Amino acid sequence: MRFGAFGDMVLLTVLLRHLCERFGKPVDVISSGPWTQPLLEGQPWLGRLFVIRSRRTPYYLSRDQQRLVSWLRHRAAGPTWYCDRELGLTLLARGGIPQRYICDTRAFHWSRDESVADRYIRIGNEAPEGLLGQLPPPRPASSRAAKLFLTDGARREADAWLTQRDLGDRPYIVVHPGCRHIARRAARSRQGTDKFWPEARWSKVIRSLREQRPDHAIVLTGTRSESLFNAEIIRRSGVSDIHNVADELPVSTLLPFLERAHSMICVDTGPGHAAAALGTATVALYGTASPIVFRPGGATTHAAALSGVVDGAQNILGISADAVTAAWLALTAPGLQTAVPVPET
C-alpha cells in the first residue's frame, strides 16, 4: 500500500519488482492518484491494482474504500508491505489484515545516505512478525533502479503525437523546469519555494543546449498551470525550435515520449524519475530533498542529481546554470552509460 505522488510511485517499482522476484508471483497494489493506473498498469510484476480516489473521505461516504475492504476480506490476509503514513492502516484492519502481517516501512531505521531504492530492497527482504520463517528467503536484488516497461501501443500513441508536432523523426531534449508548488505561487514571489530555479538560469541552460545540439528540438513539459512559467523561460532564452507542450501529454503518452528523448533536465519531480527509469539520461535539480536518497529513478540509473548551498544550507538556488550544463555534457558524452555521481556543492 502506497499513496504517493508520481515520482513516489516510480520509485516504488523497485520494491514491487523485488517482491515479485522473491515470491515468484505478481504483487497487488493499493494506491491513489490519477497517474497511478497509467503508470503501473501493464508492468510485469503487477497483480491487482486498486486505486482509491480519496483516502481522507470518511469511510461511510467512500464507495472506493468500501469496495477495497470487501475485496481484501474476500482475498484473505497475507504478507503486506505498508509504505505510507497512518491513513491506510485502518483500511487494512477493516479488510482483515492484522498488524502482525504488515511490514511497516516506518518501523525501520534508514541510513541518511541510503537511497530509496536500497531501502525498498532491504524492506522487501524482510518478513512481517506474524509470518517469520514462513515466507521465501531474502534474495539479492536484480537491480537497484526503478524500471518501467512500455507497450508497443503506448509507443505508437507517442509517435502519433510527435508526428503532429513535427517531431516524429527528430531528436529532442526535454526540459521540465516547474512543479506544482511553483505553479501554485504564480501570482506571488517564488523565493520561498524550495524547487524554484529562476527563469534566467533555465534560459541560460537552454541557450547552452542549443549551442551544443543545434539540430535537436527542445521541448518544455509540465502541467497547464506551469505553461506561463515555461513561456517566460522560452521568451528569455531567445532560441528557435523550442516547444512549450505543458498539459499536452497524459501519462500514457508522456512515458514513451520520455523514453525516446535524447536527455532530460528537470527539477526533482515525477517525470524526471520516470525518464531515468526509462533509461533516458536525466539531470535533476534538488531543493531541500536529499539528492542521494531521492536520486532520479533509484541508485544506478543514468542520471545526475545536483544540489547547491546558500548560507550554509542546501538550496536549489546554489546551483549555477554552468553546473547544470556541465552535468548534462558529462552525462551525454559518447559512450557514457553509467550513473554520474552527485557533484560537490
Look at residue 25 and tell me if it is in a domain: yes
Q: What is the pLDDT of residue 182?
A: 67
Domain range spanning residue 231?
A: 152-331
Q: For the residues 234-263, what does the mean pLDDT come to?
A: 97
- 186 pLDDT exceeds 60? no
47 inside domain: yes
Prediction pTM value? 0.92
- Report residue 190's pLDDT band, with 50, 70 and 90 as the boundaries: low
9 vs 32: CA distance, rounded Å: 10
Answer yes or no: do 171 and 32 share one domain: no
Does residue 344 sit within a domain? no
Q: Tell me the CA distances in angstroms from 309 to 32, 117, 295, 319, 345, one per residue in order.
A: 35, 25, 18, 8, 6
What's the pLDDT band for 191 if we cut at 50, 70, 90?
A: low
* Least confident stretch, 80-94, 173-187, 308-322, 328-342: 328-342
- Whether residue 99 is predicted with pLDDT greater than 70 in this model: the reply is yes
> Per residue in 22-47, pLDDT tens?
999 999 999 999 999 999 999 999 99
Q: CB neighbours of 30 closer than 8 A, spacing ≥ 6?
A: 1, 2, 50, 52, 68, 88, 91
Q: Is residue 311 part of a domain?
A: yes
Q: Look at the chain and report how many structural domains it folds into.
A: 2
Claim to verify: residue 211 and residue 251 sit in the same structural domain: yes
Of all residues in the chain, the percent with pLDDT exceeding 70 is 93
Residues 232, 315 within the same domain: yes
Whole-angstrom distance, CA of residue 6 vs CA of residue 251: 10
User: Is 181 a residue whose pLDDT tops 90?
Assistant: no
Residue 41: inside a domain, yes or no? Answer: yes
- The residue among 201, 216, 175 whose CA lies nearest residue 316 is 201
Mean pLDDT for the chain overall: 92
Confidence bin at 188 (pLDDT 50/70/90): very low
Quickly state the pLDDT bin for 55 (edges 50, 70, 90). confident
Does residue 192 carry a pLDDT above 90?
no
Q: Hunting for cell 556543492 — which residue is that?
A: 345
* Same structural domain, 234 and 318: yes
Percent of the chain with pLDDT over 90: 87
Mean pLDDT for 49-61 is 90
Mean pLDDT of 115-124: 96
Same domain flag for 85 and 38: yes
Residues 64-90: tens digit of each pLDDT: 999 999 999 999 999 999 999 877 899
* Whether 159 and 105 share a structural domain: no
Position 166 confidence tier, pLDDT thresholds 50, 70, 90: very high
Q: At 54, list the grid cell.
A: 480519496
Sign of CA dihedral 315, 317, 322, 328: positive
Does residue 60 share a domain with residue 25?
Answer: yes
In this structure, the answer to whether residues 322 and 179 fall within a common structural domain is yes
Same domain, 157 and 292: yes
Residue 342 lies in a domain: no
With respect to residue 235, please indicate whether it lies within any of the assigned structural domains: yes
Residue 64 shares a structural domain with residue 110: yes
Nearest CA among 173, 194, 219 for reference residue 328: 173
pLDDT band for position 214 (cuts 50, 70, 90): very high
In a domain, 237, yes or no: yes
Domain co-membership, 104 together with 164 = no
CATH number, position 179: 3.40.50.2000
* Same-domain pairing of 124 and 237: no
Q: What average pLDDT does the segment 211-219 reach?
A: 97
